[in-house]
């Protein structure tokens, strides 16, 4: 079996939904599981719905806009659509019923119950269309396949329970209904044992694809994107980026850890464990070769990759009594970061100061205030963190030319520089 993942941008409108069939026709006769995200910006819209609802606002109009958008796409791709329409509307009714009630004491749980509809709707439309276009297709509810804990908004997968569920749903015979390929299911969502919907974290559909591939021992995963693969830098920022046609899991994990946004960071571990290759390909240009990520590392160092994180805060933390920064302080400081859920992108210490670089978010600003109670805290705003893997001097020079360098760190393969914004 092959697993295909289509993200929100690839199914943002009727043309996108039709394009899914065009891709699948290239793989006629193969067993394919298609993992789909919510259409376009639906997840963002549903986030507004859930927060407004919890704030006591009337959200009926917002839901109505979403309903009209989804119905319009369905009507465009499935002209005789009564049956599919009824099915889609059922899920809108379900949501409206939920929103007609009162919020619970658990905001994150409410979030998951509401936001998950984006994926349910998009997959209903895709599967209604594919059933006609390919004459065969089945829809599966990912909540019957992916069992998670109750850590809402970043639920953790129960691999064993999920394996049993997947086995049950995908086995035919024994009075079970046969599985018709392609199978369409949702990314991003799962469910607890009690039947509460959970989500795996924003942009989690790539991870879902990897979960399914792992559980089904798939031969490969393909992420179909609006870019023709993984590049050595953000093509929107740099004129002559190069395609990384082949890199190892390790290298891809490092790149996504440092902030490359092509693949969700959690995606690679399950694939690596079962040696399942990941292909990143263009859903527009089906002949473009794309990128392959697998065990082979021989091309990792051929091209320097650079990742630029803008809007960083460089925070420097000093004990008030000018005592040395030792393990006890660090223990305390790390505890505050962990509790505030602020991720440290880079750190450096000297005798009297511990410096970190973090994303400039409201959470980081609150943390600075908290730190200031016990430490002297200074910070630099508007910094850029430039990471270069497999760096060479000309590349580094080009990236930092004429800029004020605040911190520089180098290992054998990775260079990291904190720059004042020019
Ligand atoms: N729809 C979800 C999001 O926008 C999951 C995903 O797209 O991967 O975060
Ligand atoms: Mg999305």
The domain segmentation of the chain, as residue ranges, is: 2-225, 305-420
Residue 174 pLDDT exceeds 70: no
pLDDT surpassing 80 at residue 400? yes
| Matching fold, domains 2-225 and 305-420 | no
Q: Give the mean pLDDT of 221-227.
A: 95
Give distance in angstroms: CA of 205 to centre of ligand 2. Answer: 8
Lowest mean pLDDT of 41-50, 196-205, 309-318, 391-400, name the range: 391-400
By mean pLDDT, which of 36-40, 119-123, 307-311 is the weakest? 307-311
Q: Give Cα separations from 216 to 171, 209, 276 (angstroms).
A: 11, 11, 11
**CA 385 – CA 259 distance, rounded (Å):** 10
Q: Which of 35-44, 222-231, 232-241, 290-299 has the lowest mean pLDDT?
A: 232-241
Q: Closest-lying ligand to the alpha carbon of 200?
A: 1
Report strand pairing: 291-294 vs 278-282.
antiparallel
Residue 267: pLDDT over 80: yes
Q: What is the pLDDT of residue 120?
A: 98
> What is the whole-number distance in angstroms between the Cα of residue 40 and the centre of ligand 2?
7
Query: What is the distance of C-alpha 367 from the center of its chain?
Result: 25
Q: Which pLDDT does position 352 carry in this prediction? A: 86
* Check whether domain 2-225 has CATH 3.30.43.10, yes or no: no
| Residue 175 pLDDT greater than 70, yes or no | no
Average pLDDT over residues 190-200: 98
Say which ligand is closest to the CA of 45. 1
What sections of 171-307 are H helices per DSSP? Answer: 205-216, 249-257, 268-273
Position in ligand 1 atom list of the atom nearest CA 203: 8
Distance 205 CA to ligand 1 centre (A): 6
Between 26-40, 66-80, 252-266, 341-355, the lowest mean confidence (pLDDT) is in: 252-266
Choose which residue among 41, 43, 221 to substitute to test ligand 1 binding: the one with the highest number of ligand atoms within 8 A of its C-beta.
Answer: 43
**pLDDT value of residue 320:** 87
Using the predicted structure, report yes or no on whether residue 262 has a pLDDT greater than 80. Answer: no
List, chain by chain if needed, residues with CB within 6 Å of any ligand 1 atom: 7-8, 37-38, 43, 118, 187-188, 202-205
> What average pLDDT does range 180-197 have in this prediction?
97
- Could you tell me the distance, in angstroms and rounded to a whole number, from the CA of residue 46 to the centre of ligand 2? 12
Query: Distance (Å, rounded) from C-alpha 312 to C-alpha 385?
Result: 7
Q: Which atom of ligand 1 is nearest to the CA of 204?
A: 8
- Residue with the bigger pLDDT between 263 and 380: it is 380
**Please, which contacts does 63-68 make with residues 24 or more away whose CB atoms are closer than 8 Å?**
63/92, 63/95, 63/96, 63/99, 66/42, 66/92, 66/121, 67/92
Rounded Cα distance between 123 and 116, Å, is 11
**Residue nearest atom 7 of ligand 1, based on CA coordinates:** 203
Closest CA to 405 of 419, 393, 415, 416: 419
Residue 263 binned pLDDT confidence (cut-offs 50, 70, 90): confident
Confidence of residue 178 (pLDDT cuts 50, 70, 90): confident
* DSSP string across 78-109: -SS-HHHHHHHHHHHHHHHHHHHS---S-HHH
Residue-level pLDDT at 329? 85
pLDDT at 367 over 90: yes
On the question of pLDDT at 409 being above 90, the answer is yes
| Mean pLDDT of all residues in 253-266 | 84
What token pair was written down for 96?
Answer: 């409206």
Predicted local confidence at residue 245, as pLDDT: 96
- Termini Cα distance of the chain: 50
CA of 348 to the centre of ligand 2 (A): 35
Instruction: Report the separation in Å between the CA atom of 150 and the middle of ligand 1, taken as the mean of its atom positions.
Output: 19
C-beta of residue 412 within 8 angstroms of C-beta of residue 383: no
Kindly give the distance from the C-alpha atom of residue 290 to the centroid of ligand 1, in angstroms, as a whole number. 22
| Ligand lying closest to the C-alpha of residue 118 | 1
Look up the CATH architecture of domain 305-420. Answer: 2-Layer Sandwich (3.30)
Ligand nearest to the CA of 9: 2
Amino acid 257: pLDDT: 85
Task: Give, for ligand 1, the residue of 203, 256, 261 to mutate: max count of ligand atoms closer than 8 Å to Cβ.
Answer: 203
- Give the mean pLDDT of 199-214: 97
Predicted confidence (pLDDT) per residue in 139-153, tens digit: 999 999 999 999 999
Q: Which of 56-60, 194-198, 325-329 has the lowest mean pLDDT?
A: 325-329
Q: Where are the alpha helices (DSSP H) in 171-285?
A: 205-216, 249-257, 268-273
Question: Does pLDDT of 63 surpass 90?
Answer: yes
Question: Model pTM?
Answer: 0.91
Mean pLDDT of all residues belonging to the chain: 94
Q: Select from 8, 154, 210, 262 the residue to mutate for testing ligand 1; criterion: most ligand atoms less than 8 Å from CB.
A: 8
């Amino acid at each position: 079996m092959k697993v295909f993942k289509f993200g929100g941008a690839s199914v943002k409108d009727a043309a996108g939904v039709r394009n899914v069939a065009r891709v699948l026709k290239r793989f006629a006769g193969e067993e394919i599981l298609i993992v789909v995200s919510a259409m376009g910006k639906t997840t963002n819209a549903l986030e507004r719905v859930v927060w407004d609802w919890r704030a006591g606002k009337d959200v009926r109009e917002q839901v109505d806009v979403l309903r009209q958008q989804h119905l319009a796409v369905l009507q465009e791709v499935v002209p005789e659509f009564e049956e599919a329409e009824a099915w889609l509307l059922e899920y809108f009714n379900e949501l409206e019923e939920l929103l007609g009630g009162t919020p619970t004491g658990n905001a994150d749980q409410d979030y998951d119950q509401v936001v998950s509809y984006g994926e349910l709707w998009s997959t209903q439309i895709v599967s209604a269309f594919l059933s006609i276009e390919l004459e065969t297709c089945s829809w599966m509810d990912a909540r019957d396949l992916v069992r998670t804990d109750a850590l809402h908004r970043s639920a953790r997968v129960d691999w064993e329970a999920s394996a049993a569920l997947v086995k049950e749903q995908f086995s035919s015979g024994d009075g079970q209904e046969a599985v018709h390929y392609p199978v369409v299911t949702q990314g991003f969502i799962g469910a607890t044992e009690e039947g509460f919907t959970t989500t795996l974290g924003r942009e989690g559909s790539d991870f879902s694809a990897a979960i399914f591939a792992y559980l089904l021992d798939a031969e490969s995963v393909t992420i179909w994107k609006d870019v023709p693969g993984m590049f050595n830098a953000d093509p929107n920022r740099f004129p002559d980026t190069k395609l990384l046609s082949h890199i190892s899991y390790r290298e891809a994990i490092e790149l996504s850890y440092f902030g490359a946004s092509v693949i969700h960071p959690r995606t690679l571990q399950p694939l690596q464990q079962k040696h399942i290759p990941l292909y990143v390909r263009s859903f527009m240009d089906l002949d473009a070769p794309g990128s392959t990520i697998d065990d082979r590392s021989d091309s990792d160092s051929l091209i320097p990759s650079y990742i630029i994180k803008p809007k960083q805060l460089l925070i420097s933390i000093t004990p008030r009594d000018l005592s040395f920064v030792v393990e006890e302080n660090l223990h305390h400081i790390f505890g505050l970061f962990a509790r505030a859920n602020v991720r440290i992108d880079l750190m450096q210490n000297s005798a009297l100061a511990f410096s970190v670089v973090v994303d400039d978010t409201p959470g980081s600003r609150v943390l600075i205030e908290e730190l200031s109670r016990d430490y002297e805290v200074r910070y630099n705003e508007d910094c850029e963190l430039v990471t270069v893997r497999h760096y060479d001097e000309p590349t580094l020079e080009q990236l930092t030319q004429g800029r004020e360098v605040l911190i520089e760190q180098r290992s054998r393969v990775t260079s990291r520089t904190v720059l004042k914004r020019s």
